Chains A and B, each alone.
Chain A
Amino acid sequence: MATDLRISNISKIYPGCIANDNVSLQFKSGKIYALLGENGAGKSTLVKILSGVISPDNGEVFLNEKNLKLSSPLDAKKNKIGMVFQHFNLFETLSVFENLSIDATEDNKSLRVRINEILKKYNFSIDLDVPVLNLSAGQKQKVEIIRCLLRSPKVLIMDEPTSVLTEQETEELFISLKKFCDEGILIIYITHKLKEVLSLCDEVAVMRKGKVVSVSQTQNERVETLANKMVGQKLAKIKKKINISKNKDEIFKVKHLNFYSDDPFETNLVNLNFSVKKGECLGIAGISGNGQNELFQILSGEIITPDTSIIFRNKEIAKLNPKQRREYLMAFSPEDRISQAAVPELKIYENVALNNFKSSNFFEKGLVNEKKIKDHSKKILSDFSVNTDNVELKSQFLSGGNLQKLILGRELITAPELLICYNPTWGLDVGAINYIHETLIKINDQEKSTILISTDTEELLKLSDRIAVIYKGKLSKIMPSEEVTPEKLGVLMGGGSID
C-alpha cells in the first residue's frame, strides 16, 4: 500500500530563533527524499517533530490523510514512523539481540526468527550474540535499522547516517535504502552532504533558516546548484595550489610514537613515524575512535609518552608540555571546541589568554595584563571576522563557526610554524567551513606547516599535500594526495589494504 506523508504549515519557535517557519512538504512512498540544509537550518527540529520528540507550536502532520497526534516518540512508533538518529541509542555492553529485544512485544524465540529473516533478506551480516561495543559504527547503525524494520515501518527517517561510516559502509547503506524504498517504505534522508543527495535521492527539499527554500528533482540538480540553494549565496571555489615541497626541510619529525593505555575506551598507538615539511599540510584520515584523540594529545604535549622522539625545528620537544611547545611556535586546535579548546563560561578575552606565549606578555610577572589581552582579542575578532567586537562577551554566545574562528585566530596570531588541528570544521555550516579552509590554505602559502587530523575525507583531499590513514592506532604509509582517491581512503579507513 502506498504511503503518503504530508507536513502542513509546521512552525516551531524557540526563544530568539524560529526553528521551523511554516514548513509544508509532501512525501510519497517509492521515492527517497533528501532534506538538505546547513547546521541550524531547521532539519533536526522538523525530524524531531516527525518522531514525536518535540511538538510543534503550529501545524499538522498527515499520514495517508490521517491527522497524526505526535506527542511522544511512542506515538511515532505506533504510526509506523521509524527513525535512525545520528547518535546511536544502543546499550554498548548488551548483545545485539538483547538490545533488539528491549522494546519488543513478542517472545524471544519468534523475535529471533524475525530478526534472522531480516538479516537474510537484506544481506546483513551481524552476529546477534556479541556485545554491541564490539561492532563497527556501520554495524551499529544496521542494528538501529533492524530495530525499525521489526516494526514494519511505513516511513523511515535517517538523520545524517553517513557521518560515522566508511565509504564502503556508506555504499552498503545506500543499497539497503534503495531496497527498502522498492518495498514501499518512504525514506526521508537528512544530510548536509551534497554528493549523497545526488547519488541516492530522487527528490530534494532544501531548508534554510527554518524555511523550505526549494523542492526539486535531484536529476535537475548539480552539486553547485544545491550548494548555492543551501547557503543562499555564491560560494567562492577554493582550490589549493599544489605545493611543490620535494626539497624542503623537514620541520617536524616524529619517531617511535607508542602509547599504551589501560583504559579500554582509549586506543593504543603502535609505532607511528612521520614528518612534516615546511609549508606542507599532512592530512591524517580515519574514522573517529581509531587513535586520533590520543595522537592529538601526544602531539600537543597533553600526554607525554616515554621513548618517543619528537623533533621540531631541530629541537627535541617530546618531554615538553603544551605551553612550552607553544613557546617553540607550535599551535593546537583540538576537536572539542566547547570543553577543551575554549571554556564557554569564560569571556572571549579570557579564552584568548589561554594561548599564553612568551612574547605575548599576557601575564607579566604573574600578573594579568588585561589591556594587552583585550587589545589582542579585538585584533583576533576583526582579523578572523568573528561576528562580534565585544571581547567581554561570554564565549557560550558565539555560534560554533564563530567560536572556531576565535580559536583558530587565537592559535594563529602567534604566527606559529606548525598548526596541529583536529576536525577543525566539525559541525560547522558551509560558510564557516569555507572560511576555515581558506585560512588553512593561507597558512601553507606562507610557508607554515599544518597537520590536519580529520574524519572528513573531502576536507583532507582538498587541503592536504600528503595523506596517511590511521586505523586502530596504526598509521598507513603516507601518500601524496594526487595519488589518493576517496575510494582508496575508504578502504584504508575501513581497515582494508591497497596494493
Chain B
Amino acid sequence: MIKIEKRNDVPMALYFFTPFIAIILTILGGGIIFYILGFNPIEALKFYFITPISNLYGFSELLLKATPLCLIAIGLSFCFKSNNWNIGAEGQLTFGAIVGGGVALLFYNQEGFYILPLVIIAGAIGGMIFALIPAILKTYFNTNEILVSLMLVYVSKLLLDYLVVGPWSNPEGFNFPETRQFSNSSRMPLLFEGLRIHAGIFLALAAVMLSWFVLYKTYLGFQIKVSGLSLKTAKYAGFKGKTMILVVFMISGACAGLAGVGEITGPIGQLHRMISPDYGFTAIIVAFLGRLNPFGIIFASLVVALTYLGAETAQIFLQIPKYTGQVFQGMILFFLLASDYLLFFKVKILNLKKNELRY
C-alpha cells in the first residue's frame, strides 16, 4: 500500500530550487519528444533554446515577449497569494487593449505627448474594470471566480472580434479585420533603433519593484499573506475580506490591462484579432514558476518567453508547428507541480498483503 504524508519542514532553499529542477526536466522531456519525432534531440533543443537568443535581435525579442508575461504574472501573484483564483487575465488583457486602443483610435490623426499616458491609463482602467466583474460577483453573490473570470475571456475576445470587423474597422482597410494604425504619439517609444523592444519593459520593472514593496512592506501585503495562508485567521484578525478581494482583483486586472496596452502600442500598433498569443494564460505558469515572488517572476517570464521564441525558430528550421511552445509550457507546469508534490509530501510504500488492505 502506498501512503502519502505531508512533510513537516520544507527547506526554503529547496523551495526556490525546485523550479530549476522542473526546467531541467522539461528540457529532458522535450529532448525525448524530439527524438521520438525523428529529430536529433541535441540539435533540436539547440534550435529551441539557444539559436533564438544568439543575437541581439533575438535577445530583444526575448525581452519583448517576457514583458507582458512578467506584468500579468506580477498582478496574478496578488490574487494567488490571497487565495483568489483569477484565471481570466487573458480577458482582462483583451479588455484593457480594447479600452486603451479605443482611446488611441480617438487620437489616430493627432500628435501630442499626453496621448500615450492617456492610452496607458485607459488600458489599466479597462483591465481593472473587467477584473472587478468576477471580484464583485464573488464577494456579493458567492460565485466561483475561476469560472466567471475564465468565461469572461471569451466575452472580451468576441467583443474585440466584433469591434475590429464592425464599428472600429479601418475604413481604408479593404475589410481586413483590423483597426486603423495608431498615431506615433500613441506608440511606445522604442529603446533601440532596429529592435522591437520598447519602453513597456519599464512598466514591467516598475510593477516588480512596486509589488515587492506592497507585498512585503505594507499592511495590504500582510493581509494578503495571512489570507492566503488561513482565511479563518484573516477573519479572526478582522481584515476586511471583501475589500481585499476587490483590491487584489483590481491590481491583477490593471497589470493585465497594461500588458494588453503594451502589446498594441508596442509591436502591434493597431487592434486586430490576434493581439495576444495567450499571454494571459501562460502568465499563470510564469507566476507559479516564479513562486509568486516578484524577482522569481522576472526569471520565470524570461524562461517562458524563450519557449515562445524557440517554438517559432523550430517552426522555421525544423518545420514543426509552433504549438510545440505550448507543449513546453505545459511540461514546465507539469514538472513544477510534480516536484512540488514531492517537495511537500513524502510517499511511503508499506508492506501489506492484499487481504490486509481492508482496514
Contact = CB atoms under 8 A, between A and B. Distances in A.
A270 to B, nearest CB: 24
Contacts of B222: 350, 353, 363, 368
A336 B239 CA distance: 18
Nearest to A355: B237
Contacts of B216: 368
A154 interface: no
A325 interface: yes
A321 B240 CA distance: 9
Contacts of A321: 238, 240
B218 A368 contact: yes
Closest 5 pairs between A and B when the two form their complex, measured CB to CB: A323-B238, A322-B238, A363-B219, A354-B237, A340-B232
Interface stretch (B113-121, B290-298, B351-359): B351-359
A221 interface: no
A367 B217 contact: yes
Q: Is the interface of B mostly helix, strand, loop or mixed?
A: helix
B358 A103 contact: yes
A325 B237 CA distance: 10
A72 interface: yes
Contacts of A367: 217-219
A324 B226 contact: no
A302 interface: yes
Interface of A: 71-74, 77, 103, 300-302, 321-326, 332, 334, 336, 339-343, 345-346, 350, 353-356, 363, 366-368, 396
B46 to A, nearest CB: 42
Contacts of B229: 343, 345-346
B236 A332 contact: yes
B346 interface: no
A141 B321 CA distance: 64
Interface in B220-272: 220-222, 225-226, 229-230, 232-233, 235-240
Contacts of B236: 300, 302, 322, 332, 334, 340-341, 354
Contact of B239 (A323, A326, A343, A350): A323
Nearest to A324: B238
Interface extent on B, as a size class?
20 to 34
Contacts of B239: 323
21 contacts: A72-B352, A77-B359, A302-B235, A302-B236, A324-B238, A325-B238, A334-B236, A339-B230, A339-B232, A339-B233, A340-B230, A340-B233, A341-B233, A343-B226, A343-B229, A343-B230, A354-B233, A355-B237, A356-B219, A368-B218, A368-B222
Contacts of A356: 219, 237
Contacts, number: 76
Given A73-B359, A74-B359, A301-B238, 19 more contacts: A71-B351, A72-B352, A74-B356, A77-B359, A322-B237, A323-B239, A332-B236, A334-B236, A339-B233, A340-B233, A340-B236, A341-B233, A343-B233, A346-B229, A350-B222, A363-B218, A363-B222, A366-B219, A368-B222
A354 to B, nearest CB: 5
Contacts of A301: 238
A142 B29 CA distance: 56
A326 B232 contact: no
Contacts of A396: 8-9
Which of A77, A300, A367 has its CB near the most chain B CB atoms (within 10 A)? A367
Contacts of A354: 226, 233, 236-237
Nearest to B229: A343
Contacts of B221: 368
Contacts of B359: 72-74, 77, 103
B183 to A, nearest CB: 39
A341 B218 CA distance: 21
A368 B220 CA distance: 9
Nearest to B238: A323
Nearest to A320: B238
A363 B233 CA distance: 18
B339 to A, nearest CB: 20
Contacts of B217: 367-368
Contacts of A73: 359
Contacts of B225: 346, 350
Contacts of A342: 233
Contacts of B358: 74, 103
Contacts of B226: 343, 346, 350, 354
Which of A103, A301, A366 has its CB near the most chain B CB atoms (within 10 A)? A366
